[in-house]
């Protein structure tokens, strides 16, 4: 039987260095100075969450807790470093003994020490995403699966499937049914690949990113002596952004804190918006159930926004049933201007309004980089990017690359480019490489054959002539009906037999979108290409297939404005080229309006925020309308958008929307707008001169 020996806590040599009452407001002070035990801190937007965590660490150190006994878990290593740097500035103490960092970095440290218990040496390799894809591709190739014969998920998609299984701790079949139903017929093959992948990693002493959590948790569960070691070491556990944790992260925390329960989690349930990537909203909601003795603190004083904006935020989130009720209150003075509600005719008019108001704000002294336009999905900003380009307003996409520069947009556009100009080598190669079994070398050979055929017999549909064009006689002959169609010409090329079926499909599709040498309207071409070829490709190659399909639907809708392919393609080129040119309105190299999805804007703040496309089906998204939980997450997303604004907020929605297949479609204002009390918003009536 082991002997129990207790070390007496030593008095701090730097006690009383911080005047907590002077440095913190009452709500922050209560959380920072709370006695040991489970603590849930609900920190509203702009309320000083980081400050609260930082001072809690300082408070523990000042009260004699050894730095080595503190574990600080954050979602970025930068956040951990910044907090620990602030602690060092607050106290004359070296905080280096604190284990601070992301869940993955902490898991890495544990596995380097004790991973031999699972059969891994301390020198194991951590694979990056490219390494992981290469290894999975090797496993697929060795498993007897031929991706050229069927649309088996590519390595990148398999990596995401495996990641979801790990982080949500859900069975493979359940996950596929919900997120990748089109892969359910391949369930057994995917499971087999996963098993082979695990064995391959073990054989090569390699771990992927998710293993740093999954293997660490398994090590602690299976080896009691290692678990006891870390439970003794980490007497106080602090967790940032707890609303964003997934199932395995919550299990990791609970396992380490099970005995002493000295765990403080800080977050805002109203900003839990990442279920689509595995975050589990129930973690923060059910914390008091898992820790019955938990004290709950609410920090509701907001230092960011004017009262008028916070009143709208409080009203917007009130309808959620599953939440910790809170009421943000402002520390800033009131502003005469209420948040604005603007109804527009259509997306084009909405873009014109935003652009004009942005220029007015700039003239009023608001820097462009202090302005943000937020939206639910990337494709919502299509008209806006075009309008900004026309007016020479510089902008930057903080939610990724520009809409028309995304891979799936360029893929589908390559078909239109090719039928408009069969001598477009770049478009040809991009298009054919979408087919199974065709890589760079084969694409080059195919292009050589295609180029030779062009120089022998004219091909129909060389030019897409718009109304009123004066086509020279030579071009008229080239586009004449006596030449082979594009599809017929493609079929004459020598193609690998394993790709023959898809090659025939490509030829048929090209003739469908350009019958008798005359290209269809660009919107119709996009719909045909997606349905005939690209939809299957996207399912196999992209984990966010549904979002990309929405983008392509929007591209088809956008293309309805253009009567012919050349006009459409010219506008796409115009957007890219204008964006690349320096504009006379740019006051500084980095001064540009921020265009961002709400997800990407979380944690940021701006002087002025525009939230656009606030219609049912757009925001909230159509996919979220099936369940209450999904609608509540969309409402939290709306709340996040509102609380990014410090001084001015504009909420807009168009009455009509272009639709690729059904003409103009009437749009209902977002249900979230109806939930905001009328007196909190100012209606703006937009008139045309």
Active site (catalytic) residues: 49-50, 240-241, 271, 644
Hey, how many other C-beta atoms are within 10 angstroms of the C-beta on 5?
5
Task: Determine the Cα–Cα distance for residues 109 and 103; give it in Å rounded to an integer.
Answer: 10
> How large is the angle between the packed helices 224-233 and 211-222, nearest 10 degrees?
110
**β-strand 371-375 against 395-397: which pairing, if any?**
unpaired
Cα end-to-end span (Å), the chain: 90
Q: Is residue 281 a contact partner of residue 321, using CB atoms and an 8 Å limit?
A: no
Please list, in sequence order, all residues whose beta carbon lies within 8 angstroms of the beta carbon of residue 34, skipping any fewer than 6 positions away.
Answer: 264, 295, 297
Q: Is residue 49 a contact partner of residue 299, using CB atoms and an 8 Å limit?
A: yes
Instruction: Specify which residues 611 forms β-bridges with.
Output: 374, 651
**β-strand 606-611 against 645-654: which pairing, if any?**
parallel
Task: Determine the Cα–Cα distance for residues 197 and 195; give it in Å rounded to an integer.
Answer: 5
Using alpha carbons, list the distances in angstroms from residue 491 to 419, 495, 499, 523: 15, 8, 12, 26
Task: Determine the Cα–Cα distance for residues 157 and 180; give it in Å rounded to an integer.
Answer: 10
Q: What's phi and psi for 632, nearest 5 deg? A: -65, -35
Sheet holding 295-299, edge to edge: 99-102, 70-74, 236-239, 263-267, 39-43, 295-299
Q: Which helix (H) or strand (E) holds 257?
A: helix 247-257
Q: Is residue 418 a contact partner of residue 427, using CB atoms and an 8 Å limit?
A: yes
Between the CA atoms of 172, 178, 180 and 184, what dihedral angle is there, to the nearest 10 degrees?
A: 60
Using alpha carbons, list the distances in angstroms from residue 182 to 73, 179, 546: 37, 9, 12
Task: Determine the Cα–Cα distance for residues 18 and 27; give it in Å rounded to an integer.
Answer: 17
Instruction: Specify which residues 42 forms β-bridges with.
Output: 267, 298
Using alpha carbons, list the distances in angstroms from residue 582 to 255, 575, 577, 592: 55, 13, 10, 11
Q: Which helix (H) or strand (E) holds 71?
A: strand 70-74
Task: Determine the Cα–Cα distance for residues 381 and 374; give it in Å rounded to an integer.
Answer: 9
Name the residue with tokens 């054919």. 432
User: Six-digit token pair at 555?
Assistant: 């591209």
CA-closest candidate to residue 516, choices 559, 493, 483, 561: 483
Hey, how many other C-beta atoms are within 10 angstroms of the C-beta on 41?
28
**β-strand 663-666 against 656-659: which pairing, if any?**
antiparallel
User: Six-digit token pair at 42?
Assistant: 């609900």
DSSP symbols for 266-304: EE-GGG---GGGTB-THHHHTHHHHSTT-EEEEE-EESS
């Amino acid at each position: 039987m082991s002997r129990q020996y207790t070390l007496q806590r030593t008095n701090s040599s730097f006690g009383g260095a911080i005047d907590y009452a002077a440095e913190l407001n009452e709500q922050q002070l209560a959380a920072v100075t709370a006695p040991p035990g489970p603590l849930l801190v609900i920190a509203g937007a702009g309320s000083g969450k980081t400050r609260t965590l930082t001072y809690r660490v300082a408070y523990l150190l000042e009260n004699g807790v050894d730095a080595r006994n503190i574990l600080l878990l954050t979602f970025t290593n930068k956040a951990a470093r910044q907090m620990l740097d602030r602690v060092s500035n607050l106290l004359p103490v070296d905080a280096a003994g604190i284990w601070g960092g992301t869940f993955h970095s902490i898991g890495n440290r544990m596995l380097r020490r004790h991973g031999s218990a699972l059969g891994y040496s301390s020198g194991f390799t951590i694979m990056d995403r490219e390494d992981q894809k290469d290894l999975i591709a090797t496993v697929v190739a060795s498993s007897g699966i031929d991706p050229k014969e069927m649309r088996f998920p590519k390595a990148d998609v398999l990596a995401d499937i495996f990641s979801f299984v790990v982080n949500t701790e859900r069975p493979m079949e359940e996950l596929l049914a919900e997120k990748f139903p089109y892969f359910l017929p391949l369930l057994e093959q995917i499971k087999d690949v996963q098993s082979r992948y695990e064995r391959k990693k073990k054989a090569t002493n390699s771990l992927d990113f998710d293993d740093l959590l999954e293997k660490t948790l398994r090590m602690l569960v299976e080896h009691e002596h290692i678990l006891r070691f870390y439970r003794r070491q980490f007497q106080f556990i602090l967790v940032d952004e707890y609303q964003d944790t997934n199932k395995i992260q919550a299990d990791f925390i609970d396992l380490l804190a099970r005995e002493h329960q000295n765990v403080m989690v800080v977050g805002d349930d109203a900003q839990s918006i990442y279920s689509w990537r595995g975050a589990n909203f129930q973690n923060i909601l059910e914390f008091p159930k898992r820790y019955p003795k938990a004290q709950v603190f609410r920090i509701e004083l907001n230092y960011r926004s004017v009262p008028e904006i916070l009143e709208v935020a409080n009203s917007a989130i009130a309808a959620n049933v599953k939440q910790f009720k809170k009421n943000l209150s402002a520390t800033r003075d009131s502003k005469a201007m209420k948040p604005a509600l603007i109804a527009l005719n259509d997306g084009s008019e909405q873009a014109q309004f935003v652009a004009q108001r942005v220029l007015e704000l700039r003239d009023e002294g608001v820097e462009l980089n202090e302005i943000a336009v937020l939206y639910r999905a990337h494709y919502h900003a299509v008209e806006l990017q075009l309008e900004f380009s026309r007016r020479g307003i510089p902008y930057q996409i903080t939610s990724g690359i520009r809409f028309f520069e995304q891979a799936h947009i360029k893929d589908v556009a390559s078909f239109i480019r090719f039928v408009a100009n069969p001598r477009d080598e770049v478009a040809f190669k991009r298009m054919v490489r979408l087919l199974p079994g065709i890589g760079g070398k084969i694409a080059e050979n195919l292009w050589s054959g295609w180029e030779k055929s062009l120089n022998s017999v004219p091909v129909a549909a060389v030019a897409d002539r718009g109304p009123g064009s004066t086509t020279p006689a030579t071009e008229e002959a080239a586009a004449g009906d006596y030449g082979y169609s594009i599809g017929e010409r493609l079929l004459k090329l020598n193609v690998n037999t394993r790709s023959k079926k898809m090659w025939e499909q490509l030829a048929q599709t090209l003739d469908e979108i350009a019958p008798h040498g005359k290209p269809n309207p660009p919107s119709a071409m996009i719909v045909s290409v997606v349905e005939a070829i690209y939809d299957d490709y996207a399912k196999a190659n992209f984990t966010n297939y549904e979002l990309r399909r929405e983008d392509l639907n929007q591209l088809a809708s956008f293309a309805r404005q253009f009567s012919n392919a050349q006009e459409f393609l010219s506008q796409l080129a115009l957007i890219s080229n204008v964006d690349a040119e320096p504009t006379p309105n740019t006051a500084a190299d980095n001064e540009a309006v921020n265009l961002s999805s709400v997800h990407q804007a979380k944690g940021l703040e701006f002087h002025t925020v525009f939230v656009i496309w606030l219609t049912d089906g757009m925001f909230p998204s159509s996919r979220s309308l099936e369940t209450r939980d999904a609608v509540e997450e969309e409402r939290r997303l709306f709340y996040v958008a509102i609380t990014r604004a410090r001084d001015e907020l504009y909420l807009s929605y168009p009455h009509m929307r272009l639709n690729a297949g059904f003409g103009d479609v009437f749009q209902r204002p977002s249900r979230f707008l109806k939930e905001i009390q009328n007196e909190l918003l100012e209606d703006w009536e937009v008139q045309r001169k």
